[in-house]
A = this chain, B = another copy of it.
Amino acid sequence: MRDTTIVQQATPTSPTIDELLTAGDTSAVRAQFADAHPADIADILERLTLAKRPLAWNYIPETVKGEVLAELTEGVFKNLAHELDKQELIDAIKVLDIDDIADLIPDMPEALLADVLFAVDVETRNNLGEVLSYPEDSAGGLMNFDATVVRDNVSLDVVLHYLRLKTELPDNTDTIYLVDREKRLKGILPINTLLTQPGHHLAIDHAIESPVSFRCLDSEQDVAKAFADYNLITAPVVDESGRLLGRITIDDVVDVIREQAEHDIMAAAGLREEEDIFAPVARTSRRRTIWLAVNLVTALLGSWVIGLFEGSIQQLVALAVLMPIVASMGGNAGTQTLTVVIRGMSVGTISSENFYNVLQKETLVGMLNGVIWATVIALIASLWYQDLQLGLVIAAAMTANLFMGAVAGVFIPILLEKVNIDPALAGGVALTTVTDVVGYFSVLGLATVILL
Contacts and interface: CB of A to CB of B under 8 A. Distances in A.
A420 interface: no
Interface in A254-303: 254-255, 257-258, 260-262, 264-266, 268-271, 275, 277-278, 281-282, 284-285, 288-289, 291-292, 295-296, 298-300, 302-303
Contact of A227 (B228, B254, B284): B254
A335 B269 contact: yes
A1 to B, nearest CB: 6
A43 B348 contact: yes
A39 interface: yes
B339 A230 contact: no
| Copies of this subunit | 2
A29 to B, nearest CB: 15
A336 B271 contact: yes
B250 A295 contact: no
A113 interface: no
A168 B196 CA distance: 6
A267 to B, nearest CB: 10
Contact of A250 (B191, B210, B250, B373): B250
Contacts of A37: 229-230
A424 to B, nearest CB: 9
Interface residues of A, number: 124
A240 B88 CA distance: 43
Contacts of A136: none
Contacts of A2: 208, 230-231
Contact of A194 (B4, B195, B277): B195
Interface in A110-168: 160, 163-164, 166-168
Residue among A250, A265, A320 with the most chain B CB within 10 A? A320
Contact of A306 (B171, B251, B321, B333): B321
